[in-house]
Structure 1
Amino acid sequence: MPTNLDTRPVVLTGDRTTGPLHLGHYAGSLKSRLALQESHCQYLLLADLQALTDNADDPSRIRRNVLEVAFDYLAVGVDPGVTTIAVQSQLPALAELTMLYMNFVTVSRLERNPTIKAEIQLRGFERDVPAGFLCYPVAQAADITAFKATVVPVGEDQVPLIEQTNEIVRRINRQAGRPVLVEAEARLSRVARLPGVDGKGKMSKSQGNAIPLSATPDMIREAVGRMYTDPNHLRASDPGTVEGNVVFTYLDAFAEDEAEVAAMKAAYRRGGLGDMVTKRRLEEILVAFLDPIRKRRAEIAADPGYVLSVLDEGTRRARAVTQATLHEVRAGLGLTLADLTLASAHGPRALTA
C-alpha cells in the first residue's frame, strides 16, 4: 500500500469502463502492470469520466462496467494491497486539473494528435467530434500528472498521448518558473499492440474482434477459428508468411515456450505446417491462460461488496494524492487564496492585471 514515505517510481494507468477487458488490454498494459506492482508505487484508474467522452448517451453502461473492469483487474492478479485502484469520477482534482491544462493546449495541437485523429476516423465523428473526446489527451495528462507518475504502461498507439502529456508538463513548469510536475515515460510491452482476430486494426470490443478475459473455451475456439492468417497459404505444404499473420502475433504474445514458436515459424515459412495446426496450438495456449482467470473472476464477482470496499479505500487514498498535486499546480499558477489576498493588497485592479 502506497504511503507518504514511499520512494518507489510511480506508475499510473487505467482503462475506460466501457465493458469487460480483453486480451488486447492484457498484452498492451495489464501484463506490465502485474510486473511493476511490487517494484513501483502503482495507481490504477477506472476511467469512467473518459468513458463518457463517446458514451454520454448511455451513462448507465459506464456505471455498470466500473465493477466489470474491477473484476478483471483482480482476476488477472492485481493486488489491492500494493496497487491502489480508484474510480476516476470520484477524484474532483482531476476535473479541475483538466480545466487548468486546457489553457495550455491549442485545438490545432489536439487535432494533430495521431491517436485522436485515428479514433475520430474510426468512430466516424468527422466534424461532429464531442469536445470531451477531442480533449481526451488533456484529461489523460491530468490523470498522469495528478499522481506524478513517471512510468505509464501503454500500447504503442497511446504513445502520442504521453508525448502530449509531457508537453503540458513543460508548459506548466515554465509558467510556474519551477518544476511543479514531472514528465512520464511510456512503458511498452513486448507485444505493444495486439490486433483484432480479423486482422483489421487493434482488438476492440466495439469492432467485434476481441477475446474477453472471461472467454469460455467455446468462445476462444470460435475466435481463433476466425483469425486472419496468410491468404496465399492455401495448403500446408505451401510456404507461408508469418509477418502480419494474426495467429503468430498471438503466439508471440501468449506462448511461454519461445523456442516452440520459433520452430513453428520456421516450419510455416518453408512449408509443411498448416493453418489448422497453428490455430489448434494457439487455442490450447489461450484456454490454458484464460481458464484460471475466468474462474477467479466468477468467484470475485460473487462478492461485489468486497470489490466495492477495495474501490472505496483506493479512491480515498488517491483523492489525497491528487488534491495535493492540484494545490501545487494552483500555487505554481498563482491561483491560491494566498495569492489572491496578496494581489488585493496591491489595489483592486491587481486581480485583473
Structure 2
Amino acid sequence: MALTALVLVFANGLGLEALAKGLTVVPPGNRFEQQPPIPAASANRTRAFKTTYDAKYHKILALLSNDKKLVQQIKDTAAAYGIDPIHVVGALVGEHTYNVSSVDAAQTYYVKALAYANADFEFRYKGISLQSFVNRPEFSGCTPAKGSSALWSCRTDVWNTQFLGKTVGKVAYENVTFQRAFFQPFFAGQTFGLGQISPLAALQVTDLVNRVSGFEKLSPDRPQAIYRDIMDPKRSVIYTTAILREAIDAYAEEGFDISGNPGITATLYNVGQPQRRAAELREAAAKGSGRKLPVENYYGWFVNTKLDELRALLDGQG
C-alpha cells in the first residue's frame, strides 16, 4: 500500500487494528479516476421521470437534511452495529440518486408500508412456493449453514449453479436472479422502502437484526412482516445498517478491511452477495491473477466523491 494511502487511513483512526489482525486495509477514495459506466436501466429510469442524477442527489440530500430525527436514528443505529454512519448515508444517497427518485418525506414510505400489511400474497415461482422449492434435494447442502446469512447465501448459490437458465426435471428456469424469480410478487420492482431493500436481503440479515435490535426473525412464510420491516423507515434504516455490517464482516473474514471506504460498502449494497465477492477477490489475490483490492462501481464512485457533503449532513451542517 502506498505511504500516502496509509497516512490517510491512520489519520481517520483506521487501519492499526486491521493490520494487527493481518487484514489488508482498503484505503479511502476511488481506484478509478473516472466514474465507471452507469447501467442503461438507471439512465432510462431517470429520463422517464424527466429528472437528472444531480436533481435526484439533491432531493435525497434535502430529505435527510430536513429530517433531523432520521439522521439521529442513522447515527444511533450505526453505533449499535459498530460502523461509521457515513456508510448508511452513502448507501441511501446512492439508491435515491441512481435507482429511485426519493419522496419528499421519509414518512411517505411508512404510508406505503401500510398498503402491504394486509395484502394476501406469498413468494412463488412457476406456481411453486419458495419454502417448497428450497426443500428440494439440490438445497440439502445448505441445511448445515449456520445463521440466516450463510443459509440464504447458500441457497442463492444453488439457484445460480443448478437452476438459473437451465431446464431441470422438464421445467425451464429463466435466466434471472433468485431474488427476481421468487421475491417479486407484485411485479413492481425488486427493492422497497427508504433503503430500497429486497426481501431476500432482509432475510439474510434477520439473525443479525434479531441479535442487535431485538426484532422478531423474519420468515418467507410471513411475507407481510418482511415488507413491513423493509418499508417502515424506522425499521428500514436498521436493515440497511445490518446489510452494510454484514458486507464489512464478509470482507474481513476474507482478509480485507473495507470499513474505511464508504464507496466500497455502497458498491456492495448496490450489487449484493458480499460473501461470494469477497471469497473470489481473496482467491484471485492469492493467485496473483487478478486485482488485489476491491474496486468501486459507478454508484460507490459517486458516493466517494460526495463524502464531504455527506459528513457535513451528519454533523448537522447540511
TM-score (norm 1): 0.28
Which structure ranks higher in relative contact order (CA pairs < 8 Å, sequence separation ≥ 6)?
A: 2
Larger Rg computed on CA atoms: 1
